Chains A and B, each alone.
Chain A
Amino acid sequence: LAKTTQPISMDSYEGQEVNITCSHNNIATNDYITWYQQFPSQGPRFIIQGYKTKVTNEVASLFIPADRKSSTLSLPRVSLSDTAVYYCLVGPLSGGSYIPTFGRGTSLIVHP
């Protein structure tokens, strides 16, 4: 199971772009990368998912280099409401027994 490493916390200001990088050095060939957001006292919420290169949706972009040993979640022009914990998860779509695991995540605080 690929282990992920993220910064424990980040600070930003309203209107700035925020990039959160996740390291997953032992990612396997069939592993996908998924990011979730969690507000206090709420369940995690799916943000974005990718396998390689770049993925963009209405909320964020996900950049994955060719070696896939890391990925970067990019949040454009953050607002106060983006203050949350962001989790990077890596795992296979199929094959074998798999128990989904959340790490500690990155606590993002957006300041006025």
Chain B
Amino acid sequence: EPEVTQTPSHQVTQMGQEVILRCVPISNHLYFYWYRQILGQKVEFLVSFYNNEISEKSEIFDDQFSVERPDGSNFTLKIRSTKLEDSAMYFCASSEEHRELIGGGKGYTFGSGTRLTVV
């Protein structure tokens, strides 16, 4: 079964440092997403990406965050200057069609996540 791959699985960084979280979506998927989950909290939507541009983003996704699809396979999330409150699990997801999270029959495929710890 095709998988969404995320690297690294764990990342520890100092406050104020930049981090880049990497994702390889499923090859024939066209829509890409980043979510995060603070320990014990809900899964929160950050951003969706299609056709090399952001299609939707949440209030969490401020100027500190950026996404990029630098080549045909990778999808990255960059946090420019990390804060303690950025510590969370970050999940990448992809789908064949937009809004397969709701409707479309197959849903989103999520990766196993990157645990980011900001110290």
* Cα–Cα distance between A105 and B103 once the two chains are bound (Å): 19
A71 within 8 Å of B (CB atoms): no
Residue pair B45, A46 in contact (C-beta under 8 Å)? no
A70 within 8 Å of B (CB atoms): no
Interface SS of B by simple majority: loop
Residue on A with the closest CB to B99? A93
B18 within 8 Å of A (CB atoms): no
* Cα–Cα distance between A23 and B93 once the two chains are bound (Å): 26
* Cα–Cα distance between A99 and B103 once the two chains are bound (Å): 14
Contacts of A98 in B (CB 8 A): 56, 99, 102
Residue pair A34, B107 in contact (C-beta under 8 Å)? yes
Number of chain A residues whose Cβ lies closer than 8 Å to a Cβ of chain B: 28
* Cα–Cα distance between A93 and B107 once the two chains are bound (Å): 11
Interface residues of B in 72-104 (CB under 8 A from A): 89, 91, 93, 99, 101-104
Residue pair B113, A34 in contact (C-beta under 8 Å)? no
Contacts of A92 in B (CB 8 A): 99, 102-103
Partner of A100, one of B4, B45, B111, B115: B45
* Cα–Cα distance between A49 and B104 once the two chains are bound (Å): 9
Total contacts A to B, CB within 8 angstroms?
Answer: 76
Contacts of A91 in B (CB 8 A): 99, 101-103
Residue pair B42, A97 in contact (C-beta under 8 Å)? no
A81 within 8 Å of B (CB atoms): no
Partner of B42, one of A31, A49, A94, A103: A103
Residue pair B110, A32 in contact (C-beta under 8 Å)? no
- Assuming the contacts A99-B56, A102-B42, asked whether A49 and B105 have C-beta atoms less than 8 A apart, the reply is yes
* Cα–Cα distance between A37 and B98 once the two chains are bound (Å): 20
- B residues bordering A, Cβ < 8 Å? 4, 33, 35, 42-45, 56, 58, 89, 91, 93, 99, 101-113, 115
New A-B pairs, 9, CB < 8 Å, besides A43-B35, A102-B44, A104-B42? A31-B102, A34-B102, A42-B112, A43-B93, A44-B108, A98-B99, A99-B45, A99-B58, A103-B42
